[in-house]
Amino acid sequence: MSAPFIPKRIVITAYPKMPDAFTEAEAMSVFFHQCGIEAPVGSLYDEDLRSRVKQGEFDMLIAVGGDGSVLRAGHLCAPSNVPILGVNLGRLGFLIQIDRKEWRDYFKRLLNGEAWIENRMMLRVEHLRAGEQIGVSLALNEAVVGRGQNLRPVRLSAFVDTRELTSYVADGLIAATATGSTAYALAAGGPILPPELRNILLVPIAPHLSVDRAVVLSEGATVGIMVKSENAVFSVDGQPPAPLMEDDKVRVTAAEVTTQFVRFGDPGYFYRNITMHINENSSGFPR
């Protein structure tokens, strides 16, 4: 666990499409004002606010919403080393430790020096065509190469450090972080990795007569996913998919930046959180 963290320059962002997000965010701003800290409120998509975050005006961002809001906040905050504190108004919240009913107690603990910073690895994802870079982005959860609206599986070849690992005929292939191991990769049958691990996880989606096991690679690995069919797309952290052409390549490596989360208590919060979600989801099934 890292040293205690007490922020001085806080910004509060709300997910505009979520009911009550701005109402809750404004209440948080009033709380901090009463503690002698000015904490402006804005939309996570407001360009002026985003520019202020990138320029280092704040030393902590509070994301009011769900896991999707925290993912978007991670893309914004990681390059500027701004820690994120999520408050969950959504359904799941694998990335979020605080529920909407608890934030006042946690904010008191925050200002009392009871918080610490958790660093989570991100991925650098490059789209290459004929050796030229088409685009590059960061992922906190995963990069997915898969079939588009066409129902036919895609043909993919996976490389690790330029050596071919295997070929897939599948709905797709996920390259995930430990954080992403509880997202799409988990739904595809992958293992759950502790969040502090700096590994790259490869998980095939509905493989057909192909390797159906997940592969855990070291942080220093370079993953190449070569497209061998015409109907492929790729997506980073659930963003709208981009089309891929045959022989395009998606290259995945560990990013130089990390997403920083503000946490409370011991690191065992992760297992308590995930156990709670698993128990909730299984409660409706007969035992």
Catalytic residues: 67
Residues in a beta bridge with 88: 65, 99
- Quote the tokens at residue 21: 């997000």
Tell me the C-alpha distance between 97 and 273, whole Å. 8
Tell me the C-alpha distance between 170 and 46, whole Å. 39
Tell me the C-alpha distance between 87 and 63, whole Å. 6
Closest CA to 49 of 12, 81, 75: 12
Q: Judging by DSSP bridges, how do beta strands 60-65 and 84-88 pair with one another?
A: parallel
What strand order describes the sheet that includes 242-243? 215-217, 200-205, 172-176, 142-147, 232-236, 242-243
Cβ proximity of 100 and 24 under 8 Å: yes
